[in-house]
Amino acid sequence: MLIPPISCAANTNRQQSNRHASFPVFGQEIVTRLMELGVVEIFEPGAFLFLRGARDVDMFVVVDGEIEIIEKIGQMTGNTFAVLGRGQFTGELDLLDSRRTLFDCRAITRSRILRINRSMLRQIIRSEIEIADLVMQACMGRRSDIVRDASGGVTLIGHKHSADTIRLLRFLTRNGHPYTMLDPSTNADANSLIHSFDFQQAHLPVVLLGDQTVLRNPSTALLSDELGLTDVSDRTTVYDVAIIGAGPAGLAAAVYAASEGLSTVVIEGNTPGGQAGTSSRIENYLGFPTGVSGQELSDRSLAQAQKFGARFAISRDVVTMRREKNIYALHLEDGEPVTSRTVVIATGARYQKLNLPNYERFEYQGIHYAATAMEAGLCLNQEVVVVGAGNSAGQAALFLSQTSKCVHLLIRGERLETTMSNYLIQRILSSRRISLRVRSEIVRMDGEDCLQEVTWRDNAIGKIESRAISNVFVMIGARPRTQGFCHDLAVDAKGFIMTGGAVASESLFGTNLEAVFAVGDVRSGSVKRVASAVGEGSVVVSDIHKYLASTKKADSAYSVPARGVVPAYMPAVMQALPQGF
């Protein structure tokens, strides 16, 4: 369908955006190489290349002309996100998986456009380093810009202290999906939308998608499906490795397995990143001298795994795990199985809960297990409590002290030195906004619809103190995330999965079940550190190779990829390249 072309004059902000690293330009040499791998099409002014909400959209490279990326608001054409000229290309993270595209794209002038289909794009990314670097740089940069500007996202209407609203906020934030939050308690636009759609308070929170689809208090699984975050629609594939859990260990295993040619699927029950993904700042992770947030580390690792071809099922729990003829069937909540020759369990650990009356009543309505920008926004200029003496608690206290009136850090011991890194201790002790309360513990929580008052006791002198506090961050201990599907696995007294010699396995990460491995925080005896989890996730891949090699006679579909061997798709790619390349 053609519509009247709009003016191609770009304003200053848009020109600056196009010059940003998010919008690199392919040089003529690269365009010439790509011309042999795609199809050139002509688009008249006003013709659409793709529409918002489409899945598996191809990449389009501008050979001549101009195209624009448009944010669509309801049925109306909204703002222009970017104008692309010669050598520039479309797409962001939607190029790496099957998520829905967030924008419309149409030609401004008569344009010659090179279409690279998804299959060929995956091959190019795996084999062409220069092109892959530019595409990945653009994907990450553009998604960052989109989230920052809330462009092309969903609208979430709900009360900000509601447990379900916080659940959906956390899901959108940690999956890097743009959104606009409207609280009917403080926002007139929210109330207008409520009346327009005839919502009732019982319907809140609601999510409005770009096509005006309304989701009333959706489950995270439903929201994930609607946004296209689950990328395993084909359940007939038998993968070489299925990884359960997308924390640091699971993501590392995915990157190494996929990069070494193993067909890989990752199944995550909530959002990628695990416990580490909720950290506001990790300063002692190798290679990041200025620190890195858990969210950024997770986002980059996820994109890296997808770059090599790993598939992801987000917000999907494994219910049962059964083996038949050397193949494991992992049945997900939707009833459909994912099948794989090997399984890596990397479900991690969760913080322990406080043994207090009313505790579960206030979970996610005042009690939090993460301290990110989202949670910090809920307690701006307020007093908060952080419970815990480990690095996670220290990082949370320091982060929250930047925006909170006062942070009360409660620890049961007498000192932090035995449980927390020195650099965190020094910053906590020098902060004017952090009050360290040793030998103290919470004894009571009170409130009506949400947490309103916290009472703690100083066990050294028996003093009881109550304060009007609405947000408590609990970061103590570690409980293994061993779901029902793990009931056949050997575990230690605390529930962590036993591996290696403890279960007579030749592999350090092997469990008592053949072809099932455990890595990261869920493994008994593991060091509960991000770097350690990443190390275990990467090393376990060599054990997977050994196992698959030992069974390849029974299953000829697998062969161990040798170093230097040209991947199966490369002859076709090389044949299409110009002579002399």
How many other C-beta atoms can be found within 10 angstroms of the C-beta atom of residue 92? Answer: 23
Q: Which pLDDT score is estimated for 574?
A: 34
Between 74 and 7, name the one with better pLDDT.
Answer: 74
Residue 367 clears pLDDT 90, i.e. is over it: yes
Residue 232 clears pLDDT 90, i.e. is over it: no
- Does one domain contain both 387 and 532? no
Q: Could you tell me the CATH number of the domain that includes residue 45?
A: 2.60.120.10
- Does one domain contain both 463 and 484? no
Q: Which pLDDT score is estimated for 222?
A: 93
- Does one domain contain both 333 and 445? no
Question: pLDDT > 70: what percent of the chain?
Answer: 91
DSSP labels, 329-384 = EEEETTS-EEEEEEEEE---EEPPPP--TTTGGGBTTTEES--SHHHHHHTTTSEE
Q: Which pLDDT score is estimated for 557?
A: 53
The enclosing H or E element of 111 equals: strand 111-116
- Does one domain contain both 379 and 464? yes
Least confident of 148-152, 326-330, 360-364, 456-460: 148-152
Least confident of 182-196, 230-244, 372-386, 502-516: 182-196
Residue 467 clears pLDDT 90, i.e. is over it: yes
Which range has the top average pLDDT, 50-54, 228-232, 498-502?
498-502
The mean pLDDT of 274-297, rounded to a whole number, is 91
The number of domains in the chain is 4
The pLDDT tens digits for 395-422 are 999 999 999 999 999 999 999 999 999 9
Q: Which pLDDT score is estimated for 4?
A: 35
Query: CB of 362 within 8 A of CB of 451?
Result: yes
- Does one domain contain both 340 and 484? yes
The answer to whether residue 560 is domain-embedded is no
The mean pLDDT of 241-249, rounded to a whole number, is 97
- What DSSP character marks residue 64? E
Query: CB of 122 within 8 A of CB of 2?
Result: no
The mean pLDDT of 369-388, rounded to a whole number, is 94
- Does one domain contain both 403 and 452? yes
Which pLDDT band holds residue 537 (cuts at 50, 70, 90)? very high
DSSP percent split of the chain into helix, strand, coil, nearest 5: 30, 25, 45
Residues paired with 441 in a beta bridge? 457
- What DSSP character marks residue 158? S
Which pLDDT band holds residue 20 (cuts at 50, 70, 90)? low
Nearest to 75 by CA among 168, 209, 203: 209
Residue 6 clears pLDDT 90, i.e. is over it: no
Residue 266 clears pLDDT 80, i.e. is over it: yes
Q: Which pLDDT score is estimated for 509?
A: 98
- The average confidence (pLDDT) of the chain is 89
The pLDDT tens digits for 288-305 are 999 999 999 999 999 999
- What DSSP character marks residue 108? S
The answer to whether residue 172 is domain-embedded is yes
Residue 5 clears pLDDT 50, i.e. is over it: no
Please say whether the dihedral angle defined by the alpha carbons of residues 176, 180, 185 and 186, taken in this order, is positive or negative.
positive
Q: Which pLDDT score is estimated for 185?
A: 87
- Does one domain contain both 322 and 460? no
Q: Which pLDDT score is estimated for 558?
A: 52
Nearest to 124 by CA among 567, 563, 573: 573
Long-range contacts of 300-305 (CB under 8 A, 24+ apart): 300/140, 301/248, 301/251, 301/252, 301/255, 301/272, 302/246, 302/251, 302/272, 303/93, 303/96, 303/136, 303/139, 303/140, 304/251, 304/255, 305/251, 305/254, 305/255, 305/258, 305/264, 305/266
Which pLDDT band holds residue 336 (cuts at 50, 70, 90)? confident
Provide the residue range defining the domain that includes 191: 154-216
DSSP labels, 405-416 = SEEEEE-SSS-S
Which pLDDT band holds residue 581 (cuts at 50, 70, 90)? very low
Q: Which pLDDT score is estimated for 456?
A: 98
The mean pLDDT of 225-234, rounded to a whole number, is 84
The pLDDT tens digits for 552-563 are 755 555 544 543
Residue 570 clears pLDDT 70, i.e. is over it: no
Query: CB of 364 within 8 A of CB of 355?
Result: no
Query: CB of 474 within 8 A of CB of 368?
Result: yes
- Does one domain contain both 86 and 115? yes
Q: In the chain, what's the furthest Cα-to-Cα distance? A: 83
Which of these three, 111, 132, 149, is where a domain ends? 149
Residue 499 clears pLDDT 70, i.e. is over it: yes
Which pLDDT band holds residue 439 (cuts at 50, 70, 90)? very high
Residue 62 clears pLDDT 50, i.e. is over it: yes
Residue 213 clears pLDDT 90, i.e. is over it: no
The answer to whether residue 231 is domain-embedded is no
The answer to whether residue 275 is domain-embedded is yes
Residue 383 clears pLDDT 70, i.e. is over it: yes
Q: Could you tell me the CATH number of the domain that includes residue 209?
A: 3.40.30.10
φ and ψ at residue 401, rounded to 5 degrees: -65, -15
- Does one domain contain both 486 and 465? no
Q: Which amino acid is at 503?
A: V
Q: Which pLDDT score is estimated for 76?
A: 57
DSSP labels, 430-489 = H-TTEEEETTEEEEEEEESSSEEEEEEEETTTTEEEEE----EEE----EE---GGGTTS
Please say whether the dihedral angle defined by the alpha carbons of residues 275, 276, 278 and 284, taken in this order, is positive or negative.
positive
Q: Could you tell me the CATH number of the domain that includes residue 314?
A: 3.50.50.60
Q: Which pLDDT score is estimated for 8?
A: 37
φ and ψ at residue 514, rounded to 5 degrees: -60, 135
- Does one domain contain both 69 and 118? yes
- Does one domain contain both 317 and 365? no
Angle at 509 between CA 504 and CA 513, to 5 degrees: 55
The answer to whether residue 412 is domain-embedded is yes
The pLDDT tens digits for 127-145 are 999 999 999 999 999 999 9
Which of these three, 216, 251, 266, is where a domain ends? 216
The pLDDT tens digits for 152-209 are 889 999 998 889 999 999 999 999 999 999 999 888 888 888 887 778 777 899 999 8
- Does one domain contain both 444 and 520? no
Residue 575 clears pLDDT 60, i.e. is over it: no
